[in-house]
Structure 1
Amino acid sequence: MAGHVIICPKIEAWDQYKKEDKVLAFFTAPWSGQAHKIAPIVRDLAREYPDVHVVQLDWRQYESAAKELNVNSAPTLLFMKRGVVKEKVETTMRPYLLYDKMDKNFVLKNY
C-alpha cells in the first residue's frame, strides 16, 4: 500500500480510489489555514497506517465529488470503506483524535 498522502491527479483516479477497502479522503483548500495546519498530521497518519489509502483532494478541483459526499468545508476528512462514508470530520480542533478515528474505522473489529 501507499504509506504516503496521494495527491489525487484527476477525477478518474478518485473514482478508483474511493472504491478501495480503506480510504481516508482529505478535502482541503488553499485558503484553509486549518487544512494547512493538519496536513502534517494527515501525512503522519498515512505513514502509520500504510494499508489505508490517504487521498488528498482540492475542494475546488473536486467540487462535484465534494457535493456528492456532502463536503461543505475544508478541511473535511472522510473515513470510507468501499465507497461508503463511515465517519466524517469537518473540523479538527484536536487533531490527535484522528488517530483514534483511524483505529475505530480501519483497525478495530468491535466498531
Structure 2
Amino acid sequence: MIRPTSYEPLAALIEKEDKLVLFFTADWCPDCQFIYPIMPEIEAELTDMTFVCVNRDQFIEVAQKWNIFGIPSFVVIEKGQEVGRLVNKMRKTKTEIMHFLAAYQ
C-alpha cells in the first residue's frame, strides 16, 4: 500500500493510475486499526488496483475535497474520476470490502 507523505505524489497517483483505491484512515480510529491487518490480503487478491492509504488528519483538504467525513472510507477512482465509495458507520469486514471492490475490477 502506498502511503504518500505530501499532496503532490497523491495528486499524481490520482491522475495517472487506471484503478486506484483511496483508503481514508487515521491512527486514532479503532475501526481503521481493525482493517489494517487484512489490507495486505485484499491487495494480494486485487492486483489490478493500486491501494493508497490516505491519513485523513494529514490530508484534511483532500478528505474535504472528496467529502470524506467518516473513516474508514474507501473511494475507487478510475482515470481520475470517482466511480464508487464505501462509507458507513459499521465496522467493515474483509468480505464486505472485497464484495465492494469486486464490482470495480
Alignment partner, residue 105 of structure 1: 104
RMSD, aligned CA: 1.4
Distance 2:76 2:64 in 1: 16
Question: 1:77: how far off?
Answer: 0.7
Match runs of 1:10-89 below 5 Å: 10-19=6-15, 20-89=17-86
Percent identity between the two aligned chains: 21
Q: Structure 2: any 5+ residue segments left out of the alignment?
A: none
Normalised by the size of structure 2, how large is the TM-score? 0.88
Alignment partner, residue 93 of structure 1: 91
After superposition, what is the alpha-carbon deviation per residue over 1:10-58, rounded to whole angstroms, capped at 9, x for unaligned?
1111101112110110010111000110112222111111221100011
AA partner of residue 47 (structure 2): P
Alignment partner, residue 109 of structure 1: none
Distance 1:8 1:22 in 2: 17
Question: 1:94: how far off?
Answer: 4.1
Normalised by the size of structure 1, how large is the TM-score? 0.84
Question: 1:101: how far off?
Answer: 1.6
Distance 1:72 1:84 in 2: 19
The yes-or-no answer on 1:8 pairing with 2:4 is yes
AA partner of residue 76 (structure 2): F
